[in-house]
Amino acid sequence: MSDYYCYLFNQKDPEYALNRLLHNDLFKSLVKEEHEQLAIAVYTVSGNEGALKSALYEQSILHEFDYCLLPKNRSYGPFKLAVFDMDSTLIPIEVIDELAKQAGVGEEVSEITEAAMRGELDFNQSLEQRVQQLKGLSVDAIKTVKRQLEFNPGVEAFCRYFIQQSGKIAIASGGFMPFAEELARRLPFSQLRANRLIYADGALTGEVEYPIVNADVKTKSLLEWASVAGLKEQQCIAVGDGANDLKMLQQAGIGVAYKAKPTLGKSADCVLNVGYLDSLVNLLPLIEQRHRV
């Protein structure tokens, strides 16, 4: 049994009542803490981390709230590096699915993408299977999909806030480099790591360069960038939505699951199912205050 701070909030309704959670047997030890950030309720709770996270995830879906569960005795911050997955995290689409639509194989590729995000398929094999479906697709399709790119709500506001706090933002994606580079033209991402498609005669060959950016590569990227910046893991945030992000989120000081699949949501430190990434603007200073060394 360990003690945790449990941060509960609903960005869309700051006065949302979370009393329902108190009737759940697992949370009978919840004790509300006093603090100045009225939009976020802070509780202390004791229990098994895995059981608490799983129950919080289920309750958050049922009662529509977001949360963060962190050990009371662990220090966090000051946060200086935020590493993001790209597809369905920074942007609302899966780029490979959009390319597949251009190639006329949208349904087939989308099914593989969903299975991979749920953790049912090996990521490397699933990526290779999907890219093979794109063989012969004109490179003009990449330009078409680039024009469709837009950030998810709250991404730009959070990134600008984080940079104002002297933090750096980075992308570690199982998606593709041309799209990560396009996003870096819109926001100052300091580091990019994503897969590279292979072209020949103005068309995709159906192959991808190695090494594939999978869960291990994402994690190593976060550690590498943190080391270069002289940061400890408690100063790093990782944000993702699929099973391929799990290791990266576990390695970071705080792992944030954004509109995530259950595999990730039940394991993450922070889960955003209701609000957007800019809800972290109020949350992070409160975490730094509560968990200061």
Residue with tokens 């194989």: 105
Given the DSSP bridges, would you call strands 236-240 and 203-208 parallel, antiparallel or unpaired?
A: unpaired
Tell me the CB-side half-sphere exposure of residue 80, using CA atoms within 13 A.
14
- pLDDT for the residue 21: 62
Greater pLDDT, 14 or 46 = 46
What is the average per-residue pLDDT within 206-211?
A: 96
Give the pLDDT of residue 119.
77
Mean pLDDT calculated for residue range 191-207:
96
Please report the pLDDT score of residue 30 as a whole number.
67
pLDDT value at 226 more than 90: yes
Mean pLDDT in residue range 7-30: 70
* CATH for the stretch 75-287: 3.40.50.1000
What pLDDT is recorded for position 274? 94
Topology of domain 1-73 in CATH is: Alpha-Beta Plaits (3.30.70)
Tell me whether domains 1-73 and 75-287 share a fold. no
What is the pLDDT averaged over residues 198-209? Answer: 96
Hey, which of 6-10, 224-228, 240-244 has the most confident mean pLDDT? 224-228
The three-class DSSP label of residue 270 is strand
Residue 123: CB atoms within 10 A of its CB come to 21
Identify residue 81 by its one-letter amino acid code. L
pLDDT of 13 above 90: no
What's residue 28's pLDDT? 63
Quick check: 189 pLDDT over 60? yes
Q: Is the pLDDT of residue 22 over 60?
A: no
125-162 pLDDT tens trace: 999 999 999 999 999 999 999 999 999 999 999 999 99
| Known catalytic residue at 87 | yes
pLDDT band at 95 (very low <50, low <70, confident <90, very high): very high
Q: Tell me, what's the pLDDT at 112? A: 87
Q: Please tell me the pTM assigned to this model.
A: 0.94
Q: How far is CA 28 from CA 43, 49, 179, 217, 291, in A?
A: 11, 15, 47, 40, 23
Q: Helix, strand or coil for residue 123?
A: helix
User: For the chain, what percent of residues have pLDDT higher than 90?
Assistant: 77
Residue range 213-231: mean pLDDT, rounded: 98
- Whether 290 has a pLDDT exceeding 80, the answer reads yes
| Marked catalytic residue, from 87, 241, 269, 278 | 87
Q: Which of 74-88, 100-114, 124-138, 226-240 has the lowest mean pLDDT?
A: 100-114
Whether 23 has a pLDDT exceeding 90, the answer reads no
Among candidate residues 223, 282, 290, the one with its CA nearest the CA of residue 66:
282
pLDDT(261) > 60: yes
Q: Which is more confidently placed, 121 or 128?
A: 128
Tens digit of each residue's pLDDT (9 = 90 or more) over 29-72 = 667 776 666 688 888 999 999 999 999 999 899 888 999 999 99
Joined tokens for residue 60: 């958050």
Active site residue: 3, 13, 85, 140, which one?
Answer: 85
Does 85 participate in catalysis according to the annotation?
yes
Domain coordinates in residue numbering, the chain? 1-73, 75-287
